[in-house]
Structure 1
Amino acid sequence: MSVLTGLFDSFDNLDQIAVLDIARWIKHAPNEVVLENYLANKILYPQTLPLTKEDTELDLAILREALRANGPKNLAKTGSFLGDNTFLNVTLRKILIPSRFLRFVPSLTALIWAFIDAFLLERERKDFFEDLWTITLTGEIDEVVGSVLLPQFSDRNGVLELTQGSQSYKIRFGSLMIIPCPLNRCQIVYKFNKGKILGKQESAVEVYGGRIGLFIDARDKKK
């Protein structure tokens, strides 16, 4: 007989997540009592599926905090190739999303943004290679679904000009963008007037594409 699993089965200490931390991810967050009861129900009945758009938004907010609380440990201390985390391979710069999560959050795009928020938004960069991450959907067969690009602005007025195929884009500080790129490998050409990507102001680079494409996160990473 198969064992029922839930979205949060992979996480420990969900009861230690502060409801105010959950609320910060929700534009119109319910009051603390509602959040506390919702979180308690998720802990007691992890197999329950979200019934409304608001439920899904709450699940994604809890997921962000669960990922943050169970984030990668110090690689030097653990000696683990993954940095002691099954969702983020720091060495290979891969975000690893279990395909079973789609049973609870059908939108892969929403899941990816949750993982980016949890692992990359406030992450301190060790080197410029961390400007580029690969997104992999894991399961019986792993699938690369796209890449994450983190432009490093030196000025809030900076503009990143990026071309992929026949399409050109302008990315400004603080923005979020998804660029379709269904190919396995996609070449992008970029020019930065006030900033760098992978240590360069201007270059052409090949990145992994997939059914989602290229996520560009130009938000302030120090907020």
Structure 2
Amino acid sequence: MLVELRDYTKIIQGVTVLDKVSLTLESGKIYGVKGKNGSGKTMLLRALAGLIYPTAGSLLIDGTPLEKGHFPPSVGVLIETPSFVPKRTGLSNLLEISEIKGLISDQTVARALQAVGLDPKDPRPVRKYSLGMRQRLGIACAVMEWPSLLLLDEPVNALDPAGVEMACRLFDGARRHGAIVVIACHDSEELEGLFDERIDLSDGRIVGRRCPHE
């Protein structure tokens, strides 16, 4: 998959939240998006997911502009606080989500929960989950279908060191499977070690790009 933003601009209620952003994202790479609160990190992920539509410019998937109301064909998303049906178990929530596309088996869903350190047989409803457990569930939801485009907003929030290590393994695994992985985060040395390229944002603009390992 090849994902391109071309002079992508988004204005909301007179405020420019993304300003002529141009990016090319390639399969098999992890891109880190860094910036202060309000810099445009979350809006950039929303743009890549097709959750907002540009005021000007375009988003292209494999060379084809993404039309309004459409989404990339294979995308996993964790943006802001993950939301689930509070009275259902983690497994029940993910099984219902998996039925939307019908791409994976119930066993694959269960394995995704195990991969993030959650027990598929846990009878507790999500409303009784800790913040860390909910974050793990959100990660499982994003990765369970092995999407070609994986968009993650502050994915290690509320995770303990073991959880951060688990998340890094999963994101690296997605890269090795050929996914484009985009991670927005404030400051995480563990995540930064994964980046093939770091993109710095400020006031909705790209102000710097570098490859940390060069």
TM-score range, shorter chain: under 0.3
Q: More relative contact order in 1 or in 2 (CA 8 Å, sep 6+)?
A: 2
Higher Cα Rg, which structure = 1
If the length of structure 2 is used for normalisation, what is the TM-score? Answer: 0.27
